[in-house]
Every structure is written in C-alpha cells, then in structure tokens.
Structure 1
Amino acid sequence: MEEERTNIPAESTYDTILIVDDDEINRAILENIFSSQYKVAEADNGRLGLEKILCNKEQLCAVLLDVVMPEMDGLQVLRRLNEEGIPAQIPIFLITEEASNSTMREAYELGVMDVISKPVIPYMVDRRVKSVVELYQARRRLGSVVERQQSELLRQAEQIIELNRGMIESLSAAIEFRNGESGEHVRRIHNITRYMLTQTELGEGLTSEEIDSIALAAITHDVGKIAIPDAILNKPGRLTPEEFEIMKTHTVQGERMLEHIPQLKEHGAYHYACDIARHHHERWDGRGYPDGLKGDEISLWAQIVSLADVYDALVSKRVYKDAFDRGEALKMIREGQCGVFNPALLERFFAVEQEIWKFYGTNGEA
C-alpha cells in the first residue's frame, strides 16, 4: 500500500502533490487533506524528496516541504531546487513547527511560496495551497496560449519572408527571360556571392543573416534592365556608343525601381539590393559607372557581385556570344580584359573557383 501511494504516475501532468516529511503522522494528515482533489506522493527524507522533485517536474503541482529532516533538511533541498529554477515552475510550501526569522527569510529568498505552521489547520492549508496551485495552472495555460500564438506568428512571418523572397526571385528571373536567358543566371550569382562570403575571409564580421540578405540582394543586380528597350537588350551584335549609354542606365534604373517597392524596404536585403543594383558595374580603378567609384569606395558586396556577374557572363552562352572556355575565361579575368577588380578579391576568388565551377554542373556546362 505504501509503495502504491508514494509512486508518481508517469502519465499524470501537474496533478500530484508531493509531501516531503520524515513524520509519518504529519504525512498522513496532509494526505488526508489533499487526496480527494489531487494525487499524492510522499518522501520521508529530504534527499528522496529532492530526487522525486527533479525526476517528476511535469507531474507535480505543489510540494509540501518539512524543515527538519534526516539526510537533507528542508533548506538544503530548497537551495538545490533554487539552483535548478524549480520554484518558478512548482509552488513550494514550507511546513514547519518552529522557524526563526533567518530561516523564514532564507526560505522566501529561495523561492518558497508560503510558510505553513504546524500543527496544520486543514481548511486553512487546503485553501492556501489550492489557491496557489490554481494560480500556477492558470499561468501555465496562459503561457501555453502565448507560446502557440508566438509559434503561429513566427510561422506567418516565415511565410511572408518566403513570399518576399519568391517575389524578388521571380522579378529577377523575369528580367533574365526577357533578356533571352533561362533564369539560372540570377541563381548562380546568388550562389557565388554566398559562397564567397561563407567560404572565404570576405565574410568575416558579417552575421549569417547579413550574408543571406546580401546573397538575396545579388539576385536583383540587373533588375533595371526592365527599363531597357528590347532592341538594345537583345541586340546580337556590339552596341553602338549611344546604345551602350542607354544600357548603362540599367544601374540607376534598378536602384530607382527597388526604392519604389514598399514591401522591400522592410526586408533586410533592401539596402544591399539598392547598392548592388547601382554599383555592380563600378571598377576598382574608378573607370566604371554610373558614379566612377574607386577602390574601397565600392562596397564589398557590389565588388563580389560584379566579379560573379563577369565570370558567369564569360562561361555562359548569351544571345550575343558563345560561352568561353573556362580556362580562357579565367585568363581574361586575371589579365583585366573584363574590368579591373580588387586584387585581394581576385586572390580569394581564384582560390575557391574550382568549387564555384561545380555550380555549373558536373560536365562544366552553364
């Protein structure tokens, strides 16, 4: 009978009161008060009581703890429970015949909910314990509701982020289709940019969220081409000087377009997207466009996207040219035939280019 009474059923949830007292009569009195409303478990010393509490936190709705006990007294148990943060999860009542001011002060500092004097008065103990148990249960229910609401809000936020990402990717891919491309160009620019920031020292000092935002922003680098006439955008031959001047405007047009998308302004990629759209054709020597920025005046992310864009353009077939051999493309970049780049950026690019090439498939075709 004793064994059945002291075991805590594993399937219970916050419905068991644990009585920790070395006096069998006191345990019987307290059990008689609560057994009609709660399941009751017992421990006849502090060490056993501590073990039961730590092993059954999800079942206990209250602990009635004596002060003077063998092996571990009530305050020793309290100190251990306080270290584990248990009093914030389970209300603990100190049951004592005599308690000095120092004992009571320490007990309350350690998180005791209430101190009940012996001999106990049944209706008073029942009322005090039951009220606190109901308070804790209400708090748990509220916490559960708030947690579910937070999870739902997080899920909705993630859906919005994915929707925004999808819109950005779709818009950028649409520009590529209009330009006679498959849409894979923007995906490769995203992948190369992200790889350079995560697999080289270039990303040092940037958080993972910032790197994700930069990689997403890289997708929008050519969004301004939507404002370029088809006759110029898809011209198979070399552009005339006048046509090239019009083509160059896709940088500022892209920035303006991004600035007029209200939803994008709330996204972490917005600042990077505007900068990349405007400055991915700047050159390290200051001879790029539209602003003639030189050296480190060009942001790191714009520099990386610029190099990724040139690399992808060289090794990919376009309406105006066939794909260059990979070795030839690297030679052209190294010799500055396709723009002037930051030497430190080039060094890091060539160090990982063999891995980047894998983005183009096992057969090396873009």
Structure 2
Amino acid sequence: MFPVKKTTEKGNAPRDTILIVDDSIVCRASLKNIFAKDYNVLEAGDGLSGLDMIKGAAQGLAAVLLDIVMPRANGIEVLRAMRQMGLLDKFPVFMITGEDKDEVLREAYELGVMDIISKPVIPYVVERRVKSVIELFRSRNHLNDIIAEQRKVLMAQAEQLYEYGVGMIETLSTAIEFKHEESGEHVRRLRAITIHLLRHTAFGKGLANREIDLIGMAAITHDVGKIAIPDHILTKPGRLTEEEFEIMKTHTSKGADLLSSITPLRDQAFYAYAHDVALHHHERWDGRGYPDRLMGDEISIGAQVVALADVYDALVSKRCYKSPYSFDEAVKLIISGQCGAFNPQLLRCFLSVENDLRSLYSNAESASCAI
C-alpha cells in the first residue's frame, strides 16, 4: 500500500472524500473500513440519495464507488445523470458490483466508469486499484491546470507580440509618410477609418473582429512601396508628368514586393491582407485602376475600404501640393466620382458614418485615436 497525499488544488477544496453508494450495509461497512484511514468516507443507501450527495459534494470528491442493483435509482441511472451533468470528468467512478450481465457492464464502461470491481471484494486489490486511479486523476487535473495557465501566458505573449508588430509597422509606415512630407498620423487615421467602416456598417458584415483588426493593420502598410519612389517625384508640389505618374504608380507593386521579401512577415496572420492592400488600393470599381485593372468584386473588401479611407483622409488633410478641403467638400468630391470609382454599397456605408469620422480631425492630439 502507499499513502494518498492530502493535496489541495488551487481554488478548490481538497479532493479527499470517497462516496460509497450501495444498498448493502455490509458492503458499505467493508469498503469504508478499507478507505477510512486515508479518506473521509460518505455513504448513501440508494441511487437517488447518492446522486444528491454527489451534487452537493462534487468539488470535494476523490472518487465514487457505485453499486449497480439498488432501490430508487440503479447504478446505471446514476451514471447517466452524472454524465448529463458533466461530472464523470471531475473524478473517477468505480462499479463495485456482483452484476455480471455483459450488456450492463458494457454500458457502464461506455458511460465513463473507470473500473468495474466484482463482489466479494478483496481489500488490498480494491484499495490499490482505486488509489492508483485517484492519483492518476489528480495528476491529470494538475497537468490540465498547468496547461491552462500556460495557455493564458502564451495568449498574453501573443497579444504583446501583436502590439509590438503593430508598433513596428506603424514606425516603418510613419517614416515613409515623413519622407512624403506628411504627418505620421495619416496611417493611424487610415487604420481607424478602415476599422470603423468595417465594424459599424453593413460593409463589414460577415467579417470576424479579428479579421477586421488584421485589415486595419494592413491599412497601415498601404503605401509602403513609396519608399522606392524618388524624392523629386514623391514630394513634387505640382502636378506630375505622365512619365512621373507612371513611376508613382509602381509604389503598389513595389510595396507588395517589399512585404513579400520580409520572410518573418509572411508567417504573420495579417500578411495576406497587407500584401493585397498594398498592391490593390488603387484599383477602381469600374476597372480603370492599377496595377491589375481589377473590376467590381474582384477587388477585396479590404482594398476597397482602404482605398476610400485613403482618399477621404487625403482630401481633408493638408498636403505638399494642396490645402485641405472641408469635410462637406470632400464628401461631394467622393460621391460625385471625381476621386475615383467606388462600390455603391461602400459609398452608402461611408455616408452613414462619415460624421463619426470627423472626430478624428478635431485636433492634433486626438487624430491618432480610434473612433
């Protein structure tokens, strides 16, 4: 024999009680004599009484020893009730019985009984088998607690890495914005506008919050390819020549190539969205955009929303080549089609929340805040 440790699991009472459910006083006394020195022992003389005691003491039970043939409710009925309540994973149940019908014993195992011990019992055999299983259950539960705690830690670390990733991407994109003589707030506003449009209008219907967050993160890198555009074109205050515009247009494919060249980035969940948005945020609903002349729903939801958000922010913000438009003027230009062709449904959704978007521009400090 070996002693059972009186351990206390974190947040729970010690599992140091064995419940014996048997209508035979003699059998209960025999089993109690085996376990009383190491456990608190509870007794029930029928199935319903046993079930009531199980409900009341489930958190403190180390095991249940259950007869099959009993008044009021037999052992199989008690097992079925325990299974419905999800208790058979909490502690082991043993059948201590003289029943030898194959179909009954098979159902007992199928319901979740750990072991079936035949009467008359042999004390040292019963003690060893029951205690061994109790220890295994305790070890398993302890391991599950450790795994759950580690999962929490890993989730926290993953969230932290995600935030670090956002920060690094924002830093890279902000550096590009400064090269373009624009405030780094542009990319943060773009992210906020994109997320708001997807989360608070029908255009984002069917997208999970996580996917919306990833598209918002992808919005930050939409113009990453501008780092490859010569400064004299990128910062030119006047209208670009046709040749210069053709060079400027390559920032879409250059951005996608740059993102794909960063090997660790390709393992991140947001990569596919970022690559798509960088490449296609200048496509148009009418098929006259670039670089791939996509048309209609060939353009992803993410690229469509980022394109509109980019135009809106560009119109209401000061640029090296223009003064800011008023919000009302910007809306008129977008709706009239003077700033590109957009999905009519997206435009309706944009109009429904445009007043909300204006709060991003109330002052320099609040411009980086999400709506």
TM-score category, normalised to shorter length: 0.7 to 0.9
Q: Deviations over 1:11-52 (max 9, x none)?
A: 632221111233444333222211222222222332222122
Alignment partner of 1:148 is 2:149: yes
Aligned residue number for residue 271 of structure 1 = 272
Deviates more, 1:123-132 or 1:237-246: 237-246
Shift of 1:108: 2.5
Aligned residue number for residue 348 of structure 1 = 349
Aligned residue number for residue 335 of structure 1 = 336
Shift of 1:207: 3.1
Alignment partner of 1:193 is 2:194: yes
For the Cα contact (< 8 Å) 2:249–2:290, is it kept in 1?
yes
For the Cα contact (< 8 Å) 2:284–2:340, is it kept in 1?
yes
Distance 1:11 1:310 in 2: 58
For the Cα contact (< 8 Å) 1:63–1:93, is it kept in 2?
yes
Shift of 1:258: 0.8
Structure 2, unmatched stretches of 5+, are 1-10
Alignment partner of 1:283 is 2:278: no
For the Cα contact (< 8 Å) 1:210–1:268, is it kept in 2?
no
For the Cα contact (< 8 Å) 2:12–2:59, is it kept in 1?
no
Aligned residue number for residue 211 of structure 1 = 212
Alignment partner of 1:118 is 2:119: yes
Aligned residue number for residue 6 of structure 1 = none
Number of aligned residue pairs: 356
SS at match of 1:87: coil
Identity %: 56
Amino acid of the residue matched to residue 135 of structure 1?
L
Q: Deviations over 1:286-323 (max 9, x none)?
A: 33333333434433322221111111111112233221
For the Cα contact (< 8 Å) 2:181–2:235, is it kept in 1?
yes
Distance 1:25 1:43 in 2: 13
The equivalences for 1:230-249 within 5 A come to: 230-249=231-250
SS at match of 1:95: strand
Deviates more, 1:263-272 or 1:138-147: 138-147
Aligned residue number for residue 182 of structure 2 = 181
Deviates more, 1:60-69 or 1:309-318: 60-69
Shift of 1:185: 1.0
For the Cα contact (< 8 Å) 1:221–1:276, is it kept in 2?
yes
Q: Deviations over 1:254-301 (max 9, x none)?
A: 111111111221122222222221222223333333333343443332
Distance 1:142 1:13 in 2: 16
* Structure 1 residues 215 and 11: alpha-carbon distance in aligned structure 2, compared to 1, 3 A threshold: closer
Amino acid of the residue matched to residue 271 of structure 1?
A
Distance 2:213 2:43 in 1: 55
* Structure 1 residues 12 and 32: alpha-carbon distance in aligned structure 2, compared to 1, 3 A threshold: farther
SS at match of 2:311: helix
Shift of 1:134: 2.0
TM-score of the aligned structures, taking structure 1 as reference length: 0.87
Aligned residue number for residue 21 of structure 1 = 22
SS at match of 2:332: helix
SS at match of 1:88: coil
Let me know the Cα RMSD of the aligned residues.
2.6
Structure 1, unmatched stretches of 5+, are 1-9
Larger RCO, structures 1/2 (Cα 8 Å, 6+ apart):
2
